[in-house]
Amino acid sequence: MAMTRATMVSQVGEMTGRSDKDSEIAVYLNWGQIIIARAHTFSYMIKEKYMSTVDGTESYAFPTTMKSFYSLRVQTSGYKRKLINRTTRAKDIRVPYPGGESEGCPIYYNPWGRDFELSPIPDAVYTVYLRCEVWPTDMATGDTSDFLKMDDVLCEYGAWQLAKSLTLEKDTTRFRGEFGSSLAKVIKVDTIDIGGEEQLIAQSFADGSLMLAPGEATDYWKRADFLRSPM
| 173 pLDDT above the threshold of 70 | yes
| 209 pLDDT above the threshold of 90 | no
HSE-up (13 A, CA, CB side) for residue 188: 6
Q: How far apart are CA 30 and CA 157, in angstroms?
A: 10
**How confident is the model over 27-51, as a mean pLDDT?**
96
Out of 94-108, 182-196, 205-219, which region has the weakest mean confidence (pLDDT)? 205-219
Out of 34-48, 67-81, 142-156, 192-206, which region has the weakest mean confidence (pLDDT)? 192-206
**CA nearest to 66, candidates 8, 117, 130, 110:** 130
What pTM, to 2 d.p., does this model score?
0.76
Domain ranges of the chain: 5-42+147-191, 44-134
- For the chain, how far is it from start to end, CA to CA, in angstroms? 54
Q: What is the pLDDT of residue 195?
A: 56
